[in-house]
């Protein structure tokens, strides 16, 4: 039986993750009180093949509204389930406080832990504290600060791997240094040292996805060398992050304007990973 627990900070995307799993074929239960987790899992072990033969598995959502003592006991609960033949996988979603506050402001929804005595920022900090026991034992951590709903859905699907372990997805972003360096990325690579197509009048209005720009850049040995070195670096170290339980790596590649060199390099890295069967997503911050 495939049993997945989805938890994380309010506003980080737990509902999106559960909806994604439901679309795949999981039987989903949200806001499950933690004291019912063991009873549910053991019951499903006996009855799921009969009650829901078409289901891929079961996914449950757990949040900070559970009893704090129950949250602290979760690691022991997971160990106990494992001894009975159930190995749950825990996906934990989080985001930077500033981004979470913006989302609550945009949606005008109330944080479940706010009160007259507790501001939104304080509620988010309190929730982090309450959920830390879950975060510590999570099989996958997804930071949704810089990703949209579609990218989150792709990352959740990528987390499922082969059903036995969580595979690491790659999230690439090109950007222009003149508009600032994106925050909270695992790696940031600077490709401003490479020849700039901007100074070729016929290429100025094109991007790093256009064939003319690609041919121009690949005509320089240093471009090909940097591309190959970057790919070799990621090939070498991505498995290490995967063994450490990372669900995805975020990689930012920047040039001056974010239109030519960084776009080309991000697309080249994505194509390499796609050919190798590893999930890779790419977004171009400065392109429409």
Residues in the annotated binding site: 8-15, 63-66
Average pLDDT over residues 40-56: 70
Range of the domain at 50: 3-159
Kindly state whether residues 77 and 103 are assigned to the same domain.
Answer: yes
Residues in the annotated binding site for GTP: 63-66
Kindly state whether residues 147 and 9 are assigned to the same domain.
Answer: yes
Residues in the annotated binding site for ATP: 8-15
66, 185, 277 from 38: Cα distances, Å: 14, 36, 36
Query: Is 234 contained in some domain?
Result: yes
- pLDDT computed for residue 164 by the predictor: 43
Domain end call among 125, 159, 193 = 159
Tens digit of each residue's pLDDT (9 = 90 or more) over 144-169: 988 889 889 988 887 776 544 456 77
Q: What is the pTM of this model?
A: 0.69
Tens digit of each residue's pLDDT (9 = 90 or more) over 233-248: 999 998 888 777 666 7
Kindly state whether residues 128 and 12 are assigned to the same domain.
Answer: yes
Query: Is 164 contained in some domain?
Result: no
Question: Tokens for 46?
Answer: 């006996």
Kindly state whether residues 23 and 117 are assigned to the same domain.
Answer: yes
Which residue, 232, 150, 146, is CA-closest to 189? 232
Which residue, 31, 120, 33, is CA-closest to 68? 33
């Amino acid at each position: 039986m495939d049993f997945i627990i989805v938890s994380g900070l309010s506003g980080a995307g737990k509902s999106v993750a559960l909806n994604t799993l439901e679309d795949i074929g999981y039987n989903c239960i949200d806001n499950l009180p933690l004291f019912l987790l063991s009873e549910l899992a053991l019951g499903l072990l006996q009855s799921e093949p009969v009650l829901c033969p078409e289901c891929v598995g079961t996914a449950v959502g757990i949040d900070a509204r559970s009893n704090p003592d129950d949250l602290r006991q979760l690691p022991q609960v997971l160990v106990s389930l494992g001894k009975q033949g159930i190995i749950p996988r825990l996906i934990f979603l989080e985001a930077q406080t500033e981004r979470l506050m913006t989302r609550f402001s945009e949606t005008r929804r109330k944080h479940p832990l706010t009160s007259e005595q507790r501001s939104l920022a304080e509620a988010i900090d309190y929730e982090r504290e309450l959920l830390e026991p879950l975060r510590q034992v999570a099989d996958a951590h997804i930071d949704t600060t810089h990703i949209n709903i579609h990218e989150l859905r792709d990352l959740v699907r990528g987390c499922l791997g082969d059903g036995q372990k969580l595979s690491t997805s790659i999230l690439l972003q090109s950007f222009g240094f003149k508009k600032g360096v994106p925050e909270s990325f695992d790696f940031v690579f600077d490709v401003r040292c490479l020849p700039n197509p901007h100074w070729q009048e016929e290429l100025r209005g094109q991007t790093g996805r256009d064939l003319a720009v690609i041919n121009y850049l690949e005509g320089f040995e240093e471009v090909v060398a940097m591309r190959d070195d970057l790919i070799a670096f990621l090939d070498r170290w991505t498995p290490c992050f995967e063994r450490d339980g990372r669900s995805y790596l975020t990689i930012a590649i920047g040039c001056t304007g974010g239109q030519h060199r960084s776009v080309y390099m991000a697309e080249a890295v994505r194509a390499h990973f796609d050919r190798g069967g590893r999930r890779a997503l790419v977004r171009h911050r400065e392109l429409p």
